[in-house]
Structure 1
Amino acid sequence: MTVTIGQAVPDCSLPATSDKTISLSDLQGQRVVLYFYPKDATPGCTLESQQFRDLHAEFAAANTVIFGISRDSIKSHEKFKTAQALPFELLSDSDEALCTLFDVIKLKNMYGKQVRGIERSTFLIDENGVLRQEWRKLKADGHASIVLAAVAALG
């Protein structure tokens, strides 16, 4: 099953940085931005994470929490979070449960080989747990600003 716009997002829990477990059901009453990225500490993923970091205060002012998600381990996430001074948690989806729910695992060409990986994608969930907007196959640079504008448009 994959979630579609206008649908409630099913609850799930994932291990997160800062020794936490994040459950979507615990976030009721807040807007949630889930940004899926291929790999910690790679150029595009670093740029995207830095831009979400730089706009974090504006997202927080709009009652919106941000989570970065990849299949990397918590150990890798902690290192990346510290190196980039990220003020939000990173979730480890090593078993691909959330990746599958949001249908972000795609076959990609890397150095002439087909590999399964995360297609850079972002999802905006409203205060009631309903998926309101999605961005797929996006470019990292400038994307956080587009998401912030969509959050503001929710009112």
Structure 2
Amino acid sequence: MNILKSLYNHKKSKEAFTYIEVIVSLLIIALLAGLLYFSYAICIKGINSSRKSVKESIEWLNTDSLIRKKIEQVSIPFWVTDYEYSFSSNSLTLSWINGVNNSETLSLPEIFKIQTVETIDSDNDSIKGLIVKYQYKNADYELKALFASRSFGSSQI
């Protein structure tokens, strides 16, 4: 009987885990893994949203800069009193680019919608630049750009 009693005591030693302890620890590990996966998914979603926002901002900045640079290339001779330009919802046509009397059309991406184009007039009735009001992603923007200069033939002032 002593042999059976010693075998029974050996199985109930304090050094081993019970099944309930193992199951509880596995549940805790599974819960922590689920929380880690959920927080990882939220981080990835935030990163993708940030990337999209940065791409849109770069597109807006590049197009705004393109419009500004094209307007700044306009150089009207002193004898021209009326400056001619035209625009549609996705394009802007300017004349007197770099002092040459030809028209150049600047095409914009479809997401940009030009609403109005106005002139910036100076005190002596000459046009100094343009104000372009446009819409990008349902937000209104206003761009003010000055012409390069008024030219006297081949020289600039």
TM over 0.5: no
Q: TM-score per shorter chain, which class? A: under 0.3
User: What is the TM-score of this pair, normalised by structure 2?
Assistant: 0.21
Structure having the higher helix fraction is 2
Larger radius of gyration: 2
TM (norm. structure 1) is 0.22
